[in-house]
Structure 1
């Protein structure tokens, strides 16, 4: 399988304080990774490295075959879809217009920039895939948090990236919104079999059934990584969050309880 991401022995230090230590990770095309850990574990920092937003203090990071420090980061970022639920849009843009801003990687439409017919068609396909066909003309302020999240995923996919990074996409969602988002991610996986994804969360219930691999971070270090069946166990996730946990998986979805079975 084609490598999409590779991090080797990565450290990130800020103001003399280690944020990440000796982190190594390889993501290949078609894999869907979950990045889990308690608040402050270093999840968002690691996602920033993988998305070419920051440089490592030590170690090497290669994104889409290009090493950070030897490539124009702005150019590289245009090949990576990055979904942040804190998208700073305040204008009442329509869903289709928000999705089309993914072509220019801008918050607002770029003046005098007109999408080509095939780009309009791709935006429509993504809007349908993400379950937003009935909201294509809806304005941003009228959307629910879940609808906004799915709009931002469609936006991130407009440049046809090989990699999609999702930073806690279920933040602020109610139960129906969360389930709609998870369903949309499953549709996306089936529609784009070569796309690789990395999803940051600290709730296992938010993981789509198609999740293939997982990383557990604790205090900036990798506690475990690999296929989900090997990593997402009660013992290992319990160590990650410093709690006695029991995990169950049914139909590809996880549930978590505090306490162990007798």
Structure 2
């Protein structure tokens, strides 16, 4: 039975590729008002999980419901219009359009197109300009995509993802490749966005624990395609759970409601 307050419901999800089990009996529930981190090493199954949630990959077993829609009984392409996804693979698609301006890239998010092909209204332009202001890159509106720094590109792509007012926003390792200053700038922007009253539910995917800003309320930890722990972040982000997830002895400290870790000496 679908529950209206649930953004994501996965029931006993298993996915195999060439007889190899990539995801193993994962059950997970995300409610409205929650913002989740998805944590795990590279190859742990994070990307496969995202592809299942967005309908680009079908589980071998189990049930999937996203935004109240049960997969197998809903129009997946239509559902994707309510889901924003920001990741390096999307950025790469704009490499073929070097002359597109920042404003044009953000506007293209309305119809999830790479480039502008549909009619754009003045209301659309106004919303795009407001998003650029929100992300403090309005002064870059007329500059081309390739003229931006990596941090500016990430802000632009998140603004683009917000154009159609998605109900679910997936940030797939958004700080990857950023220097310390750019990373903290982007995290500050994400933190402010998380508190918007009409903002989307966030899934923040990373293997860097220190990126979990205070507005991230919950965490799902995956190792070898299995759930290690899932729940409120202060309950599940413990030294034991993190050590199990990252296969190393971990020491954990909380500072300003953000978790910071180091590897314990093995001597």
Q: Tell me if 1:148 matches 2:160.
A: no
After TM superposition, the structure 1 = structure 2 runs for residues 127-146 of structure 1, keeping only pairs within 5 Å, are: 127-146=132-151
The aligned counterpart of 2:226 is 221
The aligned counterpart of 1:27 is 30
Q: Tell me if 1:170 matches 2:181.
A: no
**Contact persistence 1:29–1:194 (CA under 8 A):** no
The aligned counterpart of 1:46 is 49
Query: 1:89 aligns to what SS in structure 2?
Result: helix
Matching residue within 109, 116, 129 for 2:116: 109
Return the offset for 1:194.
4.9
**Contact persistence 2:13–2:26 (CA under 8 A):** yes
Q: Tell me if 1:243 matches 2:248.
A: yes
Task: Give the 4+ runs in structure 1 shifted more than 3 A.
Answer: none
TM-score, with length taken from structure 1: 0.95
Query: 2:85 aligns to what SS in structure 1?
Result: strand
Return the offset for 1:24.
0.8
- List gaps (5 residues or longer) in structure 1: none
The aligned counterpart of 1:60 is 63
How far, CA to CA, are the matches of 1:4 and 1:201 in structure 2? Answer: 20
- List gaps (5 residues or longer) in structure 2: none
**Contact persistence 1:130–1:187 (CA under 8 A):** no
How far, CA to CA, are the matches of 2:236 and 2:83 in structure 1? Answer: 26
Q: Deviations over 1:100-147 (max 9, x none)?
A: 11111111211xx22112211111121112221221222100111111
Q: Deviations over 1:137-180 (max 9, x none)?
A: 22100111111111111111111111001111111111111111
After TM superposition, the structure 1 = structure 2 runs for residues 91-102 of structure 1, keeping only pairs within 5 Å, are: 91=97, 92-102=99-109
How far, CA to CA, are the matches of 2:190 and 2:213 in structure 1? Answer: 7
**Contact persistence 1:103–1:159 (CA under 8 A):** yes
Matching residue within 186, 189, 196 for 2:191: 186
How far, CA to CA, are the matches of 1:203 and 1:248 in structure 2? Answer: 14
**Contact persistence 2:110–2:164 (CA under 8 A):** yes
**Contact persistence 2:195–2:215 (CA under 8 A):** no
How far, CA to CA, are the matches of 1:206 and 1:97 in structure 2? Answer: 29
Aligned residue pairs: how many? 259
How far, CA to CA, are the matches of 2:192 and 2:44 in structure 1? Answer: 30
How far, CA to CA, are the matches of 1:118 and 1:56 in structure 2? Answer: 39
The aligned counterpart of 1:197 is 202
**Contact persistence 2:101–2:145 (CA under 8 A):** yes
Return the offset for 1:195.
2.0
